Amino acid sequence: MEKVIIITGGSRGIGAATAYLAAEGGYAVCVNYLHNQEAAKKVVDEVEQLGSKAIAVSADVASETDVIALFNKVDEQLGTVTALVNNAGILEQQMWVENMDAARLHRIFATNIIGSFLCAREAIKRMSTKHGGVGGAIVNVSSGASRLGSPGEYVDYAASKGAIDTMTIGLAKEVAEVGIRVNAVRPGFIDTDIHASGGEPNRIEKVKEFIPMKRGGQAIEVAKAILWLLSDEASYTTGSFIDVTGGK
Ligand code: NAD
């Protein structure tokens, strides 16, 4: 059976690192992206060079129509999805809660939690043995922030990741008997472009003394945990979390 993976927000950072490892693991790869077609195409080219099939599909995960179209395209071009990585996520400028307006909260929750929920739903419909599927695995990319709360910075973001954790536990229990495992990784401070959206491109330099391992993480270190959770090595692991935080 062909292994087919969809990675949301896969054109850079943790998503792109996951695409490369998935290619090495024999998956056909769908790289979902929001706007940056060029970057997504580059990831596709590199995945193909590693010997796997790959496509880039533009979709806003917060849009139900886009998500349905994304999964339909994968059905047509790669085959039925067997692995989903809910990686797309956003962070906005650091801010105290009294300055956060409803529009910001809607944006954060729409991408981080509603987007992950919609993609999980489409994957489950296809994977469920109840509907003739062959099962599969989902990994949600949460954050160490779900435990820490990110006071004075991104309480909204941390809360959206807390919702991801709860969704992971609930879905894992709901779909365990139809052949689907659902787990999450909780990255700590990982060296990617997301910190620029928080207004602190050099964030890791600033915080590393507070990290027990005294360094930020690399995207590939998160990708390795994701690929393990997706693999048969994790066949009895569901509703679980791997913290990739250097001990923080
Ligand atoms: P990143 O900004 O490089 O990656 C996020 C990706 O999501 C981008 O490619 C972006 O275009 C995409 N995206 C955003 N909104 C989208 C939407 N509506 N539809 C589709 N794609 C969308 O940063 P990253 O660090 O690689 O982040 C990946 C995941 O890891 C995110 O969920 C993030 O919250 C989580 N995370 C990152 C860190 C870190 O320190 N880098 C820590 C904890 C959790």
Confirm whether 157 is a catalytic residue.
yes
Work out the pLDDT band at 13, boundaries 50, 70, 90: very high
Q: Which helix (H) or strand (E) holds 171?
A: helix 155-175
Q: Measured between alpha carbons, how far apart are the two ends of the chain, in Å?
A: 39
Q: Which helix (H) or strand (E) holds 85?
A: strand 83-86
Q: Which residue of 32, 194, 222 sits with most ligand 1 atoms within 8 Å of its CB, as the best mutation to test the pocket? A: 194
Q: Pick the residue whose CA is nearest to atom 1 on ligand 1.
A: 194
189 Cβ closer than 6 Å to some ligand 1 atom: yes
d(CA 45, CA 53): 10
**pLDDT tens sequence across 16-46:** 999 999 999 999 999 999 999 999 999 999 9
**pLDDT tens sequence across 150-186:** 999 999 999 999 999 999 999 999 999 999 999 999 9
Name the residue with tokens 């922030």: 145
Predicted TM-score (pTM) of this structure = 0.98
156 Cβ closer than 6 Å to some ligand 1 atom: no
198 Cβ closer than 6 Å to some ligand 1 atom: no
Q: Which of 20, 27, 33, 157 is catalytic?
A: 157
Q: How much is the average pLDDT of 135-145?
A: 99
In this predicted structure, what is the pLDDT of residue 200?
87
Nearest to 161 by CA among 180, 185, 189: 185
194 Cβ closer than 6 Å to some ligand 1 atom: yes
CATH superfamily of 4-244: NAD(P)-binding Rossmann-like Domain (3.40.50.720)
Residue 1 has pLDDT above 80, yes or no: no
